[in-house]
Structure 1
Amino acid sequence: MMDLQLKGKKAVVTGASRGIGLAIAQALAAEGAEVYGGARTVSDELRDTTPYTLEVDLATPQGPGQLVGRAVEEFGGLDILVNNVGGRTTAAAGFLEVYDDAWASTFELNFLSAVRAIRAALPSLLESKGSVVTIGSVNSRLAQPRLVEYSAAKAALANLSKSLSEEFGPRGVRFSTVSPGPVLTGTWTNPELAARRGMSVEQLVAAVPAFTGLSTGKIIDPGEVAAVVLLLASGRLPSATGSDWVIDAGMLKSL
């Protein structure tokens, strides 16, 4: 078994109450890290994972800084920041249906939340020579007009991570993004979405690999994304910085 050397490390995970964020928090805790999980609503599962939680709206200008500040104060420092919070804030079929408020709210949640968390965490991460892992999306590389604003925000995250790796890499802080394809989260187990497609939840989940083009034939488990995040956060790959790690079950068909 590979020792990820995470025991005793201090980590913040945004959007940690469910889905990918919860899987990351659980995986970090299982490796012996101390985890501060932040979310707008703290789930029972997150409370069972760590005693360090904060209910906070991470889409607000002050939210990410509040979470990071609380963690630094209680932990005495920080080694790992995982920017996971995100999602689509509006439903639209294409560009002409996406208005300024939707662009603004999508970038607040998906992009500026990471900018603000990184800004708050960097002084401590520079001391610890820590790492930042940001959850992107396969959509940052995949042209899907109905997800135009979400895809643009996720592409901006990849560019941000690359830029910060250039600026702060010489000072010992590593930046990476992890870009999943369809993951088995509430996005795909939503009964309303299934009903709109005339399916049960089970039928919808079973159909996802075919209609999204997953060459493995299987939707991605959140634990798979967590495993990549932990490896990047661990320091076992000290030369891995500025890269976007795709875990998409073969959804992308070209480099």
Structure 2
Amino acid sequence: MDMRLKGRVAVVTGASKGIGLAVTHALLAEGAKVVAASRTAGPELSALARPDLVHEGVDLMDPEAPARTVARAVQEFGGLDILVNNAGGRPPGVDLPRGSFFDASDDEWRAMFEFNLFSAVRAARAAIPHMLSRGGGSIVNVSSANARQPSQMNVDYGAAKAAMSNLTKALSEEFGPQGIRVNTVSPGPVLTPWWTEPGGAADRIAGLTGADRAAVLDKIVPESMGLTTGRLAGPEEIADVVVLLASPRSASTTGAEFTVDSGFVKAV
């Protein structure tokens, strides 16, 4: 299926690995031009190098970084059609998972909201005027199934992602009549470096349970989270939904949430 994205200009945050890398790869494959924002490019993003890909080295904890990234897209490619607010998860210097509400300080709560909510707010604020000047666009916010499935683990993260889902709906209502569609993709557990890198969530859970990393990823996490499919999703499975929402083929879809969570959320 042609996603009708050839020549469209996209900004993807958190693009050097995991879901963001998969989204960047998928958009490029559809002929889009991409500004990939992350602190460092990393080997996998660097391997995608081509004229239609620009890396913007930014720390999205910096309040000025989202606007600089959008400005880079306009400078390099003449405008902006798509914004994928993917950056999120563990802020720099914060360790996850946590087991209790009491495990996060005020500073850690602030850092979590800076990274997972305010970076998206600032990116949207910078992007929307450029989209309006081109007659519309698409914003896809990557939230989390934890926005809808509260848990004692990582309470601050779930709260920030719930706010992201609310932001999506509000933006869709205000700017939908002007041609800007805003939607949410809410992944469950995904096989990204957040889980798999040394010292990541799999290693931390292994330390708590006495199991090895493979058992954590293949058995303990799917069973403890009640994943209907019995496995964590792959980043490409999330990226496919993001690209569909970015595409004009989703022209009547706005203010919607798409949960891609291996069956984690059970509520209707």
TM-score (norm 2): 0.91
Determine the C-alpha separation between the residues in 2 that align with 1:238 and 1:206. Answer: 38
Quote the RMSD (CA, aligned, Å).
1.3
3-state SS of paired residue (1:46): helix
Structure 1 runs of 4+ with >6 Å offset: none
How far residue 160 of structure 1 moved from its aligned partner, in angstroms, is 0.5
Determine the C-alpha separation between the residues in 2 that align with 1:204 and 1:78. Answer: 41
Identity %: 51
- Aligned residue number for residue 198 of structure 1: 210
Determine the C-alpha separation between the residues in 1 that align with 2:30 and 2:212. Answer: 36
The 8 Å contact of residues 191 and 200 in structure 1, kept in 2 or not, is answered as no
* Residue 38 in structure 1 maps to residue 44 in structure 2: no
How far residue 8 of structure 1 moved from its aligned partner, in angstroms, is 0.9
How far residue 199 of structure 1 moved from its aligned partner, in angstroms, is 3.4
How far residue 42 of structure 1 moved from its aligned partner, in angstroms, is 1.1
How far residue 114 of structure 1 moved from its aligned partner, in angstroms, is 0.2
Q: Which amino acid aligns with 1:81?
A: L
Q: Which amino acid aligns with 2:260?
A: I
Match of 1:66 among 63, 68, 81: 68
Q: Which amino acid aligns with 1:145?
A: Q
Matches within 5 A, 1:65-104: 65-89=67-91, 90=94, 91=96, 92-104=98-110
Unmatched tracts of structure 2, length 5 or more: none
Determine the C-alpha separation between the residues in 2 that align with 1:72 and 1:201. Answer: 43
- Aligned residue number for residue 235 of structure 1: 248
- Aligned residue number for residue 176 of structure 1: 183
The 8 Å contact of residues 79 and 125 in structure 1, kept in 2 or not, is answered as yes
Determine the C-alpha separation between the residues in 1 that align with 2:198 and 2:246. Answer: 34
**CA deviation map 1:74-128 (0-9, x unaligned):** 1100110000000133343222222210111000000000001111111111123
Q: Which amino acid aligns with 1:41?
A: T
Match of 1:160 among 162, 167, 186: 167
- Aligned residue number for residue 248 of structure 1: 261
* Residue 56 in structure 1 maps to residue 69 in structure 2: no
Corresponding residue pairs, total:
254
Q: Once structures 1 and 2 are overlaid, which stretch shifts more, 90-99 or 141-150?
A: 90-99
3-state SS of paired residue (2:194): coil
Q: Once structures 1 and 2 are overlaid, which stretch shifts more, 159-168 or 183-192?
A: 183-192
